[in-house]
């Protein structure tokens, strides 16, 4: 499904929210528009010696803070409108999550599953060189990351290409901060792979913790036992489903992928379904689960929480009326269209908007960027020191009280944090804090009709203040 007015939709959401704020029209216009749009083509030599021309984009939506940040997607559906919309969403996402960056997005119009590894490497390295030529990449300028169709492998090629072209001693030192989502061995960070899915899980969990809101939806408090359907078993959907099940105690009743979907009211094991799909090439025919051949139909099955974590434009005016979920958590960017949202709001559905719900990825990207610039992994300097301080404290308490802790109690109290502990804790804090920042804005202004509008209000407000503090606008 192609939405040719995705950027228009994002701007409409923006306009709706801006009405609740008192900023000059010119300032709002400056925030809304894309600052730089770079569309280019380059030739690619295929392994069979034929040539094709590749269409590519990088859009920097807002330079109110630098660097700008956002993923690169490889998909046949990439077009200028889509990249602009996704770049704009990145600006608002960073603002909502308190990540001090502007927003950007890149796209290459190729189906990555149709190319061989060497071809993909040539595409990625050439794309990076084109960005370097135009100053569209760099640790303080524009920092890409993975998105649909890309992953750590592509990020490693980007980092390597960038550092080859920036070989002076000073620029070389920080060159690894030119891109995030890199493999661990290539200066990546623990927890980045799961980060977006983990953020989706924290978002859903936080919404379910607010008893007052759950009561209005006719649901009980807490994520445990909630019936969940996840669309997309890619990096975001897989980790969101896995963590909702294994850390949150939710029951995953449905999983949908391109080839079809499966449903089992008694619950599916996300990890097993993933393995089954890998082994058989399809999600269908998993144990006793019911097969649904038209994957989009799975979104209409019975559940409490629906997580669309595939692509944009999945819940439209056509199917919104049939959705049974009371809570939708947007793992993907733009899965619910503006028209669909109106229908869902009338039904009283709580839609946790993408710019908040999937902000976990860019949040941990920010941590990776910090790690690359400080040239030390989190916890490296203080872990052992913390452990010895905790040990001394426990020893003193045991001496004074004459009571000894069990081995388990001792290790819980003493153990210092690893990089992964710190990353997950920083991510959890961001998701909880941002949730309540958005919810508070909505609660204080009854005219704000949706969580998405409230999220836009939070984002626009922060960006407007930063422009005004620059002295550009009075």
Q: 457 is written with which tokens?
A: 């209000």
Find where tokens 């144990």 sit.
Answer: 287
Looking at the Cβ atoms of 256 and 362, the one nearer to ligand GLU is 362
| Nearer residue to ligand GLU within complex by CB, 178 or 320 | 178
- Asked if residue 152 lies in contact with residue 179, where contact means CB atoms within 8 angstroms, the answer is no
Stretch (H or E) spanning 422:
helix 419-444
Examine residue 235 and tell whether it contacts ligand GLU (CB under 6 A). no
Asked whether the beta carbons of 360 and 197 are under 8 A apart, the reply is yes
- Tell me the site size for ligand GLU, rule CB under 6 A: 12
Kindly state the smallest distance separating residue 148's Cβ from ligand GLU, in Å: 8
> Shortest Cβ distance from residue 192 to ligand GLU (Å)?
8
Contact 401, 429 (CB under 8 A): no
Our CB check for ligand GLU shows the closer of 36 and 282 to be: 36
Decide: 323 and 300 in contact? Cβ < 8 Å: yes
Which residue is it, tokens 């379904």? 273
For residue 273, the Cα-to-chain-centroid distance in whole angstroms is: 23
Q: Toward ligand GLU, which CB reaches closer, 101 or 115?
A: 101
Strand partners, 441: none
Is 447 annotated in the active site?
no
Binding positions for ligand GLU, 118-157, rule CB under 6 A: 145, 147
By CB under 6 A, the residues from 392 to 431 that bind ligand GLU are none
Residue placing its CB nearer to ligand GLU in the complex, 62 or 365 = 365
User: Site residues for ligand GLU, window 332-361 (CB under 6 A)?
Assistant: 333, 358, 361
Q: 304 or 428: whose CB is closer to ligand GLU?
A: 428
Site string for ligand GLU, 278-317 (x = CB under 6 A): ----------------------------------------
How far is Cα 308 from Cα 91, in angstroms, rounded to an integer?
A: 21
Q: How many CB atoms are located within 10 Å of the residue 187 CB?
A: 20
Q: How far apart are CA 368 and CA 358, in angstroms?
A: 17
Q: Mask: binding to ligand GLU, 61-100, rule CB under 6 A, as x and -?
A: --------xxx---------------------x-------
Task: Tell me phi and psi for residue 231, to 5 degrees.
Answer: -100, 120
Q: Find the shortest distance in angstroms from Cβ 385 to ligand GLU.
A: 31
Residue 178: CB atoms within 10 A of its CB come to 30
CB of 189 to ligand GLU, least distance (A): 11
- Site track 171-200 with ligand GLU (rule: CB under 6 A), x = hit: ---------x--------------------
Which is catalytic among the residues 32, 84, 105, 226? 105
Exposure string of 274-291, with b = 16+ CB inside 10 Å and e = fewer, is bebbeeeeebbebeebee
**Taking the CA atoms of the chain, what radius of gyration do you get in angstroms?**
23
Residues that bind ligand GLU (CB under 6 A): 69-71, 93, 145, 147, 180, 333, 358, 361-362, 365
Residues with active-site annotation? 105
């Amino acid at each position: 499904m192609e939405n040719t007015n995705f950027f228009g939709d994002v701007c409409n959401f923006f306009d709706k929210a801006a009405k609740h704020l008192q900023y000059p029209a010119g300032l709002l216009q400056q925030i809304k528009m894309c600052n730089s749009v770079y569309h280019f083509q380059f030739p690619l030599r295929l392994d069979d010696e034929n040539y094709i021309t590749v269409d590519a984009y990088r859009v920097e939506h807002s330079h109110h803070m630098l660097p700008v940040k956002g993923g690169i997607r490889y998909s046949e559906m990439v077009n200028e409108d889509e990249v602009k919309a996704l770049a704009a969403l990145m600006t608002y996402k960073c603002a909502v999550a308190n990540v001090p960056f502007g927003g950007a997005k890149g796209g290459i119009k190729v189906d990555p599953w149709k190319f061989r590894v060497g071809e993909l490497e040539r595409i990625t390295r050439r794309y990076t060189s084109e960005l370097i030529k135009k100053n569209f990449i760099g640790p303080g300028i524009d920092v890409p990351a993975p998105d649909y169709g890309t992953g750590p492998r592509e990020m490693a090629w980007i980092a390597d290409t960038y550092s080859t072209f920036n070989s002076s001693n000073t620029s070389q030192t920080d060159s690894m901060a030119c891109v995030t989502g890199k493999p661990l061995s290539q200066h990546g960070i623990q927890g980045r792979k799961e980060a977006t899915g983990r953020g989706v899980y924290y978002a859903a969990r936080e919404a379910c913790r607010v008893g007052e809101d759950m009561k209005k939806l006719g649901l009980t408090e807490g994520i445990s036992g909630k019936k969940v359907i996840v669309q997309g078993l890619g990096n975001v959907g897989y980790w969101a489903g896995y963590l909702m099940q294994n850390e949150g105690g939710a029951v995953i009743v449905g999983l949908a992928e391109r080839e079809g979907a499966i449903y089992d009211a008694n619950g599916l094991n996300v990890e097993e379904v993933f393995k089954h799909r890998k082994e058989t090439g399809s999600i269908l025919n998993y144990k006793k689960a019911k097969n649904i051949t038209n994957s989009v139909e799975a979104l209409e099955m019975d559940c409490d929480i629906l997580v669309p974590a595939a692509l944009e434009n999945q819940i439209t005016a056509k199917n919104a009326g049939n959705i049974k979920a009371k809570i939708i958590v947007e793992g993907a960017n733009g899965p619910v269209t503006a028209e669909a949202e109106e229908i869902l709001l009338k039904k009283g559905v709580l839609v946790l908007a993408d710019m908040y719900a999937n902000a976990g990825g860019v949040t941990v990207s920010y941590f990776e960027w910090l790690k690359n610039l400080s040239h030390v992994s989190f916890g490296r300097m203080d872990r052992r020191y913390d452990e010895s301080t905790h040990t001394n404290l426990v020893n003193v308490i045991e001496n004074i009280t004459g009571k000894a802790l069990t081995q388990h109690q001792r290790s819980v109290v003493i153990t210092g944090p690893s990089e992964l502990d710190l990353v997950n804790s920083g991510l959890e804090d961001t998701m909880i804090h941002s949730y309540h920042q958005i919810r508070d804005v909505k609660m204080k202004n009854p005219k704000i009709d949706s969580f998405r509008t409230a999220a836009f209000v939070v984002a626009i407000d922060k960006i407007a203040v930063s422009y005004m503090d620059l002295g550009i606008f009075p």
